[in-house]
Amino acid sequence: MAGHGLNPSTGSRTPVATYLDDLGTKLPGPRRHRSQILVELRDGLDVATDAHLAAGMTTERAQAAAVAQFGSPQEVADAFAGELTTTYARRVVATYIATGPLVGIWWLLLLHPNPWQTGPIAIIAAIPVLPLIAIAIVVAGGTLATTGRLMRWLPETSPRGAAAATMAVAGVSVAADLTMIGLVTVSATTSALLAIVAVATSVTRIACSTAVLHQATRMSRYRHAE
């Protein structure tokens, strides 16, 4: 098996270890996904090194040849940027769709305890951000559809497009949460406990959305290989 890490004779970093360290700092996006990519590439580099060793090269030369074959860390990071951005965007919008009801249910219970008797107009009057939420759901659903299995039939959304959609969903979410918090502070509520829970869930989501806006902005600015 091809070695990596430290060279046993010189104690210095091996070409493969240096290469992966460099690539690790250049890949954009969440740490977990980056480390998964590095594990996969390390295996590829090891297989390539083994092939060069079998051809009679020294370990150092075999590793250097494998690294040269893989392309420069910047080139590989650029090639991965789009995929990392799209994967990040998909995960974030899916999380918004999955956790949205966990926030919305408290506001629904707080501001409109009897939604089944009064109909949709009364619900929108009580929770004016519902149309905004509907737009966010459509954007999120559209992003998931055009970056996943339905890509076979639908036009694919570009990584920049996916990042923009993520920012739009996060932005709408912040606007909706701030509006609802503002609304509850000026209106009389029936349950202080429900109000606290509703505000707390919205504040938590605002904090998460702020982090998402920051990360998505960084990723959309990365130079994506076309």
* Site residues, another protein (CB under 8 A): 1, 23, 37, 39-44, 46-48, 69-72, 75-76, 79-80, 82-83, 86-87, 90, 147-149, 151-152, 225
Tokens 């990042």 found at: 163
Beta carbon nearer to another protein, 145 or 197: 145
Q: How far is the CB of 140 from another protein (least distance, A)?
A: 16
Nearest 5 degrees, angle CA 27-CA 29-CA 32?
95
Beta carbon nearer to another protein, 63 or 86: 86
Q: How far is the CB of 144 from another protein (least distance, A)?
A: 11
Q: How far is the CB of 56 from another protein (least distance, A)?
A: 19
H helices of 3-155, in order, are 15-26, 31-54, 59-70, 73-111, 115-118, 120-126, 130-145
Those residues with Cβ within 8 angstroms of residue 181's Cβ, 6 or more apart along the chain or in another chain: 199, 202, 203
CA atoms within 13 A on the CB side of 157: 25
Between CA 84 and CA 183 the distance in angstroms is 38
Q: How far is the CB of 90 from another protein (least distance, A)?
A: 8
Beta carbon nearer to another protein, 144 or 164: 144
